[in-house]
């Protein structure tokens, strides 16, 4: 395919955009899937910080840890942002926010490297973004090319 053909394909193909609400749901559901499979508490700080970091970096990709902490400690509100349902993020933007958010939380809160459970959260969230009905079997086979039993053994 030539560059011109590639450009024409890109121009004529609509880019799928995701809303903040869709991303939040996918990340929360990804955490739920991971903790269910690992049999750990979803209330662990590791997940709360990761979710906050992802959502912060979604809106401000160059945000620093201080920005994540400020958002984390803000009182939660039941008020939904006016643009919460507006499709505005590309898959690439979401992928960057999810990957960088989990990595940032690991680095700042646990002073280490992302482990298999962190990686499962990322893969589950991104799979659920594209397919909200995906299950652990789909995540295991599509993201890891392994059986769910093998993936569980890593957790």
Q: Over the stretch 96-120, which tens digit does the pLDDT of each residue have?
A: 999 999 999 999 988 788 999 999 9
pTM given for the model: 0.86
Length of the chain: 155
Domain boundaries, the chain: 17-154
Instruction: Output phi, psi for 89, to 5 deg.
Output: -115, 135
H-run or E-run covering 3: helix 3-12
Cβ(24)–Cβ(55) below 8 Å? yes
| pLDDT < 70 positions in the chain | 1-13, 77-81
How many helices (H) and strands (E) are present in the chain, helices listed first? 8, 2
């Amino acid at each position: 395919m030539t560059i011109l053909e590639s450009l024409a394909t890109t121009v004529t193909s609509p880019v799928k955009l995701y809303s903040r609400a869709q991303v939040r749901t996918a990340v929360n559901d990804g955490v739920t899937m991971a903790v269910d499979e690992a049999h750990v508490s979803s209330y662990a700080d590791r997940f709360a910080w990761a979710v906050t970091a992802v959502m912060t970096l979604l809106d401000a990709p160059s945000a620093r840890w201080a920005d994540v902490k400020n958002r984390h400690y803000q009182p939660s509100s039941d008020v939904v942002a006016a643009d919460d349902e507006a499709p505005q993020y590309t898959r690439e933007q979401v992928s960057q926010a999810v990957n960088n958010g989990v990595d940032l939380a690991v680095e700042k809160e646990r002073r280490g490297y992302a482990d298999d459970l962190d990686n499962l959260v990322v893969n589950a969230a991104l799979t659920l973004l594209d397919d909200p009905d995906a299950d652990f079997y789909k995540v295991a086979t599509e993201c890891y090319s392994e059986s769910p039993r093998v993936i569980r053994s890593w957790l």
